[in-house]
Structures are given as C-alpha cells and as structure tokens.
Amino acid sequence: MKLLRWGTAGAERPGMLAPDGSIRNLGGVLTDLSGAALSPESLARLAALDPATLPVVAPGTRLGPPVAGTGKVICIGLNYADHAEEAGMAVPPEPVIFLKASSAISGPDDPVELPSGAEKLDWEVELAFVIGTRAKYVEEADAMAHVAGYMLANDVSERAFQTERSGQWTKGKSHDTFFPCGPWLVTRDEIADPQALALGASVNGAVMQAGTTATMVYGVRFLVSYLSRFMTLEPGDIVTTGTPPGVGMGMKPPRFLQPGDVVALTGEGLGTQSQRVVPA
C-alpha cells in the first residue's frame, strides 16, 4: 500500500495510490497520516478499503510529505562504507546520529532553497523509514514491528555550514526545504528486504549516484533497536539511513548545486522525486 498527502503546503489531505495509478482521497476515512493512523491496526483498515470507492484527486495535484506530525527527523551519517571513503572518513564503530529540524520537511517535488550565504549545497539520496508504534529499548528481533513503512528522501546538505562553521552537523542539514520526502509512504509489507533496494540521483540529467542499500553498514532492523536505546521513537518519527557514494563534495573537483539545477531521485519500489534549486 502506498499512502500519501496531497494539496497545498500546510493544508495537505491524506490519500492513497490506487492500482490504476490514480490518487484517491482518504479524507473521509481519517483526518491525516499521523500518530495512531500509522499503527498496524490503522494500516490494516486502510489496506482493506477498495480504492475504487474513494474519490479521485485531480491529476497533477501537488504531493506533500507523506507523513504529518513528525516530531523527530533522525539522520544516520556515514552509513555506507563507500560513501565514508569518498568523504575521507573512517567507517564509524557505531552509527553516527544527528538531527534534522522537522521544519526542513517538504514535498517530493517542491523546490529546494539555496540559503543566504550558502556555498556548497549538496544532494544525498536516501532510504528513510517511518515509525508506526512507540519504540523504547526494543530488541532487534522485535524491531521491524515498529516500522510503518519506507520513503525516498533527499538529505539536502550545505557542506560549508555542516563542516566548516564549527559545532554540530545539524546547522548544515536543517534549512527550510532540506528534507524532500515521498512521493509516498510504502507500507512495510510491500518491501520484502529494505537492504536490497537500488537508489539513484541525477543532476540536470547526469547520473551522480547509483547505489544500493545492500552496502549499508547498519541496517534498518539494527537502527530501530539502537536508536530506541538513546531516545523514544514515536509514531511519525522519521529515520533516514545515509547515502551511497556520488555526492557533490566527493567529486574531484567538488560539484555543488546552483539556482536552476534540477535534482532527480529514484528508489526501487519507492517512487521518484524532482527538485529545482531556487534562491531562498
């Protein structure tokens, strides 16, 4: 099942993708895709619906972030050995954790802003997962039961802010529009193995990233358990799991985004995104 949110920014409504490719309005069934709506019981009720009985949303309608009410966006850094190598950093002995402000969340095809004073705007295609039920001190064997589903995400980064301005990475990760996600939330049952998905990114049509989640250092199951020992994971929280090689800062010479550039992302079973870079 592919769940989504559609409509103008800040006023999105819940929906689902029907088998015929049309978007169907779930507004008569639930208020939004947040909190308890992401529980296994709620998702089972939605899966039992016949999409053909739901109103059709007009083609071309904007898609927003697939999940509402996100309290935390938790990011895992250097989680692909080949990406750590291109960044000139060692594979960490434990997951690198940093936070991205929830105000950075945007729709899959919304513009990405080049912040005032930015010098090194970069792209990162990633697999993200969404928590469906509260997780605290979870064992790996039980971890996947807490995952509602998966999304494609772009962990947009301003590298000068991130690494050259002192302090934590968060300042280079949290500008408005720095977390396009979607186009939909793919429920856990539709992804047989989250560690076997192809991911790709291009800039202005030129392929930059072509990787697979098989080369992740720390997989989804481990991350749910690990993170739940440091913070309680609540329904709607998003964890984005790192990027394969091919980001701008790893190129020789480095290549960073400018206004007018278009970044396109793909994820196996997860859909596609496209963002044009605009001045903030």
Strands (E), 101-240: 105-106, 112-114, 121-122, 125-131, 147-154, 157-158, 179-180, 185-187, 198-203, 206-212, 238-240
Q: Is the pLDDT of residue 52 over 90?
A: yes
pLDDT band at 89 (very low <50, low <70, confident <90, very high): confident
Which two three-digit tokens encode residue 248? 């701008």
- pLDDT number for residue 31: 97
Q: Are strands 23-25 and 13-17 parallel, antiparallel or unpaired?
A: antiparallel
Cα–Cα distance, 111 to 204 (Å, whole number): 14
Mean pLDDT of 244-265: 96
HSE, side-chain direction, 13 A CA sphere, residue 54: 24
Mean pLDDT of 163-172: 89
Q: Is the pLDDT of residue 87 over 80?
A: no
Q: Is the pLDDT of residue 84 over 90?
A: no
Contact at 8 Å (CB) between 11 and 4? no
pLDDT band at 82 (very low <50, low <70, confident <90, very high): confident
pLDDT band at 166 (very low <50, low <70, confident <90, very high): confident
At 188-211, the pLDDT tens digits run 999 999 999 999 999 999 999 999
Beta-bridge partner residues of 206? 203
User: How many C-beta atoms surround the C-beta of residue 111 within 10 A?
Assistant: 17
Closest among 5, 51, 13 to 182, alpha carbons compared: 5
Q: Is the pLDDT of residue 29 over 90?
A: yes
Q: Name the one residue in this structure whose structure tokens are 């396009």.
A: 180
Mean pLDDT of 123-140: 98
Contact at 8 Å (CB) between 42 and 36? yes
User: How many C-beta atoms surround the C-beta of residue 166 within 10 A?
Assistant: 6
Strands (E), 22-95: 23-25, 73-77
At 205-226, the pLDDT tens digits run 999 999 999 999 999 999 999 9
Mean pLDDT of 71-91: 87
| Ordered structural domains, the chain, with CATH | 63-279 (3.90.850.10)
Backbone angles phi, psi at 4, to 5 degrees: -155, 175
Looking at residue 10, its amino acid is G
Report which of residues 239 and 87 the model is more confident about.
239
Closest among 175, 154, 101 to 270, alpha carbons compared: 154
pLDDT band at 116 (very low <50, low <70, confident <90, very high): very high
From 162-171, 181-190, 264-273, the region with the lowest mean pLDDT:
162-171
pTM of the model: 0.96
